Structure formats: structure tokens, C-alpha cells
Amino acid sequence: MNRYLKSALAGAAFGLAAMLVPALAVTLLGRDTANYRNIGQVGIAATSTDNNVTATPSGTINTAYQVTQGFTYVGTVATIGDAIKLPSTLTFFSPTNIDASMTVYITNHTANSMNVFPFSASEGISNAGTALANGSALAVAAHNSVQCTSSSAAARWFCIIG
């Protein structure tokens, strides 16, 4: 009888464990969307998209449309110089001794040139190796795209227009 009870108890424990495994299973493939700035997919980089953005008319570093996604498609630039601004290079949740970075893509699919500002006057943009003054805008010509990668240590965006 004792052996029977031990066997039944072991069987019940095994059955309970088998039922819990699917609830505790780890997903190895797919996307991590717990943080909108941290989206990844195994094998291919996945980027969140902001479509058909209107650049802020006569935008300044303080009033320009704030980029919040990995890819921003600008569909309206009413007049030359309307603006958007990049995310901050300094607001990463990483240890302070690590140079964190992110990359954003911006497409100006309009007939007018637009300005792209850094997040604040204490941050800057470099274009193809040429550093602009902190707080200065980068002009992105009509029907052009720009790829910008940030450096939190330098408080600067490194951009390539093409």
C-alpha cells in the first residue's frame, strides 16, 4: 500500500508539472515589445514606424515634431524649413559607464527641404563627419532619407543623408 501511495503521489506531481510547463515556457523567437524603444526580432531588425508625419511649420528645437519611432516617414513639409526633432541621446536606461546608442531612419518624401533638430541645445548632430554646432538643425533635402545613430557619451547624433 505504501509503495502504491508513493507511486500515485509521484504520478500526480509529474502530471501537475506537465500542466505548468506550457504556462512557464520561454519564447525564444518573436518580438520583445515591452519597451517601445526596444523592439527586436531574431535574425532581422524590426523597427516601429510613424507614417505620414507632418513636419512642424517653422519648427524650432523647442516646437518641432518629436520623433518617437525607429522609422519616420514625413509626408508633409508645407514650406522649406519645417522641422522634426530626434529623440534624446541621453535618456537611455543603461548603466552610466556604457555608451548606449540607437538608430533612427527618417524619410522626407516631399517636394520641400526640412530641418532635423537634435533633442535639446546641449545635444548635436554630425553629418558625414562634419559636426554641426550643438542645437543646430540638419537640412534634409526633398525626396531624401537620413539615417542617424546616437552616442550617449558624445551627446551627439551621427547622420548620413542619402
How far apart, in whole angstroms, are the C-alpha atoms of residue 11 and residue 16? 9
Structural contact between residues 84 and 59, judged by C-beta atoms closer than 8 angstroms: yes
C-alpha cell at 31: 518580438
Q: What is the pLDDT of residues 113-142, one digit of tens each?
A: 999 999 999 999 999 989 999 999 999 999
Report yes or no on 26 lying in a domain.
no
How far apart, in whole angstroms, are the C-alpha atoms of residue 54 and residue 63? 13
Q: How many domains does the chain have?
A: 1
pLDDT reported for residue 61: 96
Give percent of the chain with pLDDT exceeding 70. Answer: 67
Report yes or no on 138 lying in a domain.
yes
- Residue 53: Cβ-neighbour burial (10 angstroms; 0-12, 13-18, 19+): buried
Q: How many Cα atoms within 13 Å fall on the side-chain side of residue 143?
A: 1
Report yes or no on 99 lying in a domain.
yes
CA distances (Å), 48 to each of 39, 69, 154, 162, in order?
A: 7, 5, 25, 21
Mean pLDDT for the stretch of residues 53-77: 95
Report yes or no on 94 lying in a domain.
yes
Neighbours of 86 (CB within 10 A): 25
Task: Supply the pTM of this predicted model.
Answer: 0.70
Per this entry, what is the length of the chain? 162
pLDDT reported for residue 24: 41
Report yes or no on 124 lying in a domain.
yes
Residue 145 has pLDDT above 80, yes or no: yes
Q: Which domain holds residue 154?
A: 49-161
Mean pLDDT for the stretch of residues 11-40: 48
Residue 18 has pLDDT above 80, yes or no: no
